Chain A
Amino acid sequence: MNSLGMLLGGFANALTPANLLMALIGVLIGSLAGMIPGIGPTPAIAILMPFTTALGPVQGIIMLAGIYYGAVYGGSTTAILLGIPAELQAVPVTLDGYPLAKQGKGGPALGIAAISSFVAGVLGVLGLIFFAPLLAAQALKFGPPEYFALMILTLTVIVNLSGASVAKGLVMGLAGYLVSMVGVGPSSGHARFTFGLAPLSAGVEMVSVIIGLFAISEVIIGMGSRTPVTAAEKIGSVYPSRADLKHTAPTMVRSGLIGFFLGLLPGASPAVSAFLSYDVEKRLSKNPGQFGKGELRGVAAPEAAGNATASSGFIPLFTLGIPSSPPLAILLAGLMIYGLQPGPNLFQQSGSFVWAVIASMFIGNVMLVVLHLPLVGIWVKLTQIPLRVLKPIVLILCVVGVYTVRNSMFDVLVAIIFGVIGYFLRKYHWPLVPFILCFMLGPLTELSFVQSMSISNGSLSIFFTSPIALVILILAAVLFAVSVFLMRRSRKRALSLEADRPDLPISIHTN
């Protein structure tokens, strides 16, 4: 209960007008940065950190945390309204968010996204307050074999995100894995698949691939279509209905918990938990066919999971000093510049400061909701901009965003190439999500496998002697079998449905 008293003290510290203003500025800047493809939280924090050092410690950290939260959240706006995931984490949000926007339900989708973020963010902060040291010690039990098992579990998501054909999904997944191998490999240091091109030895940049496949291909489709895809006429109410809230509430809690626990593991990014929770919701749903066509739960799940991961990432950061993602690494530097030393003694040593920071996370989350719900109306106006105006702007933002990630012109070229590839893949109904998923998981899967083999001296038994790894692997096998079984059944049903009602479309391509 001491924690609670300290937290109240933190609130008193964080709720001064000047501090609230800092939180507001931070959240606004973060949201804008998050909406622009490729910018995201990492560069936003890195660029703005020098400016915040001019402020006092508490104000500086409040602003930085605001930028972080804002950027993690802001990505969903473009994902839902324009179908452009500004970051990897936003890819699953587009799957249902964009169809919803096309159906004129962009308002409720954004509302649900904001509320999910809030619920999960608060959940994460609560966990941080009450369980931080306890959980951090548990996370250390995850070593290379356990991470490898976790990656395998995440890979089973492919089956569920492949659309109509598992075979197509697997082909795309393997292709994604292949592309992820480009560059200098772990351990040996040898360059692979670089074809003698020097820039390729640094690997293919994730953001270039996402922007290319999802955003630039979208622009190309827009150019090719004779009848312009009309943007949503109306957005519907910004505030989701009570029924919508009731429908998505369990999803928010489930996904928030998934995201929270994954966030404890350094290396499991918000993107991993966003994909996993989307998959879990689809499996649990009574109408899995609705996913990919505009299911609100499909928006709530990745949004809640991603934000919970973002919050619980502070637990290993505060208690062990391990940043689980690049933006947190920069935030850690910010904390250290203000003289805060992460570790179990952090709460004793720098008590009032830490609690002020934690209180500011609450405030940041509240501000996001307060800011975004009324602003949704303005964001949604984006979709009413004529496409011939909007598309060039999107293209420019894409190019600038991709360039900014590594300050590399080569990455821009890669994005354009993937844009063309994405156009043809979409045209011929090859699912993009398995490709992105494997591309994302490839390096960590390979590294944790190589590490495990190195530790076990080349014996595969390491995956079965670790109880945690074994349990996860069994879970993965069961999920895989169940998914394939369910998929066959639902396909049969869909086919029989088509026989009865030939007018019904059965395109369940999860593009």
Chain B
Amino acid sequence: MRSKKFYSSLAVGALAVLALAGCSGVANASSTANAAPAYPTRPIQLVVPFAPGGGTDLVSRAVAAYLGQKWGKTINVVNKPGAGGATGTESVLTASPDGYTVLADNGSSTEALLSGANKPPFTLKDLNLVGTVVNQPFVFLVKSGGQFKTMQDLDAWVKANPGQLTFGSTGLSSVQTYTVIEWLQSIGVDYSKVHMVPNNGASDLLPQIAGGHVVLGVQDVTGAAGLVKAGQLTPLAVTSTTRSPLFPNVPTLAQSGVKNVVSSFWSGIALPSGAPASVAQKWGSAMASMLKDPAFTAKLKTLNAQGQYLDSAQFTALVKNNLATYTQLVKQYKLGQ
């Protein structure tokens, strides 16, 4: 009787270990070091460092479906959310840099994290930024039917009542917050007088704006599209230098008299910096032609995403430039310190 129990416990333990082993990720069989080895020869893992359902996740799934079909190898989207994107990014950086573990990146998991007071366990140097899929402006959003019809209305009111401005953002070190600070600087309002209302992201923020609980929201066009089209939110201005094709009637900040405030929400593909150059090239050229394919751009449009391919050099320059600006802002305003 006793030995039976022992054996069954042993079996339970053994099976549990087996199950654990099965979970331990892809095998590390690496390709041989030829000049330009065939790629991909087996399924690729595309790690999304956010929960399923968000903008970057949906765009990544579209990319995985498109390139997976093109290359004839499955691209599995794996969500590893947590710590603002640091968890998923770190998991890609610690995996074998053989090009079979790829990161879906965006501004939140790079610029925002790296500029913030709580540094993640990696730097920009650890990443090879391959190219962008989406590069789109943020939109300044207020409640529909309220007192603000234009950006000028909002500017005038905030100058008169800075203490009454509430704006929603995912945190102190987020691109949304940085954009609001730059806007306030531009119109000459003291940032310390306004109030940030922290939130969990678009699905938390947008109803708060539409319901009049929070005055201003700064959200990328993908997130904003639903409630704007539903007539619940009024877009005042976009943060790009030219108007967004998704909102052709909405002026840019510069057109509304707010100078020198430009920011964007991008999502793209990154590899660990140790990954083979040939793999990065293959991704880059495939993404370039993907964004010229009407079938893919039509899919992006259904997701309310604004596609733009920036190659590795342009992409890296954009992120470096933003990071320098944002790091300076964090220092100047002592954000999160």
Binding site for B on A (CB under 8 A): 42-43, 46, 49-50, 53, 139-144, 183-184, 186-191, 198-199, 201-203, 219, 223, 266-267, 316, 319-324, 326, 329-330, 332-333, 336-339, 341-345, 388, 391-392, 395-396, 399-400, 403, 406-409, 412, 447, 450-451, 454-455, 457
Contact present for B172 and A188 (CB under 8 Å): yes
Select from chain A the residue with minimum beta-carbon distance to B167: A454
Select from chain B the residue with minimum beta-carbon distance to A203: B82
Question: B83 touches which one: A184, A339, A454 (CB < 8 A)?
Answer: A184
Select from chain B the residue with minimum beta-carbon distance to A141: B211
Contact present for A202 and B83 (CB under 8 Å): yes
Known: A396-B19, A450-B198. 15 other contacts (CB 8 A): A144-B197, A144-B208, A184-B83, A201-B87, A316-B207, A321-B226, A322-B203, A322-B227, A333-B61, A403-B23, A406-B79, A408-B87, A447-B199, A451-B199, A451-B208
Complex formed: what's the CA distance from A101 to B121 in Å? Answer: 49
Contact present for B226 and A320 (CB under 8 Å): yes
Select from chain A the residue with minimum beta-carbon distance to B16: A395
Contact present for A400 and B52 (CB under 8 Å): no
Complex formed: what's the CA distance from A451 to B166 in Å? Answer: 10
B65 at interface by CB-CB < 8 Å:
yes
Complex formed: what's the CA distance from A87 to B18 in Å? Answer: 24
Question: A322 touches which one: B118, B226, B336 (CB < 8 A)?
Answer: B226
Contact present for A406 and B196 (CB under 8 Å): no
**Minimum C-beta distance from B168 to chain A (A):** 8
Contact present for A189 and B118 (CB under 8 Å): yes
**Known contacts A455-B166, A455-B213; is A337 also within 8 Å of B20 by CB?**
no
**Known contacts A49-B61, A187-B198, A341-B229; is A400 also within 8 Å of B53 by CB?**
no
Among the listed stretches B252-260, B268-276, B298-306, B308-316, which one makes contact with chain A, having 4 or more residues with CB under 8 Å of it? B298-306
Complex formed: what's the CA distance from A450 to B54 in Å? Answer: 24
Binding site for A on B (CB under 8 A): 5, 8-9, 11-12, 15-16, 18-20, 22-24, 51-54, 58, 61, 65, 77-84, 86-87, 90-91, 116-118, 121, 163, 166, 171-173, 195-200, 203-204, 206-208, 210-214, 225-227, 229-232, 299, 302-304, 336
Contact present for A400 and B19 (CB under 8 Å): yes
Q: Which of A50, A332, A344, A450 has the most CB of B within 10 A?
A: A50
Question: B22 touches which one: A184, A203, A320, A400 (CB < 8 A)?
Answer: A400
Chain A hits for B5, CB < 8 A: 223
Select from chain A the residue with minimum beta-carbon distance to B226: A321
Contact present for B15 and A406 (CB under 8 Å): no
Contact present for A321 and B230 (CB under 8 Å): yes
**Minimum C-beta distance from B99 to chain A (A):** 19
Complex formed: what's the CA distance from A384 to B173 in Å? Answer: 55
**Minimum C-beta distance from B1 to chain A (A):** 9
Select from chain B the residue with minimum beta-carbon distance to A316: B207
Contact present for B303 and A336 (CB under 8 Å): yes
Complex formed: what's the CA distance from A451 to B77 in Å? Answer: 33
Contact present for B11 and A392 (CB under 8 Å): yes
Contact present for A399 and B20 (CB under 8 Å): yes
Question: B171 touches which one: A139, A189, A202, A396 (CB < 8 A)?
Answer: A189
Select from chain A the residue with minimum beta-carbon distance to B90: A198
**Minimum C-beta distance from A40 to chain B (A):** 11
8 closest cross-chain pairs (CB), A and B: A202-B82, A321-B226, A329-B53, A143-B213, A343-B230, A140-B211, A187-B198, A403-B23
**Minimum C-beta distance from A348 to chain B (A):** 13
Contact present for B227 and A321 (CB under 8 Å): yes
Chain B hits for A454, CB < 8 A: 166, 195-198
Contact present for B229 and A343 (CB under 8 Å): yes
Chain B hits for A319, CB < 8 A: 230
Chain B hits for A342, CB < 8 A: 226, 229-230
Complex formed: what's the CA distance from A342 to B228 in Å? Answer: 10
Contact present for A326 and B83 (CB under 8 Å): no
Contact present for B203 and A266 (CB under 8 Å): yes
Chain B hits for A336, CB < 8 A: 302-304
**Minimum C-beta distance from A182 to chain B (A):** 11
Chain A hits for B299, CB < 8 A: 337
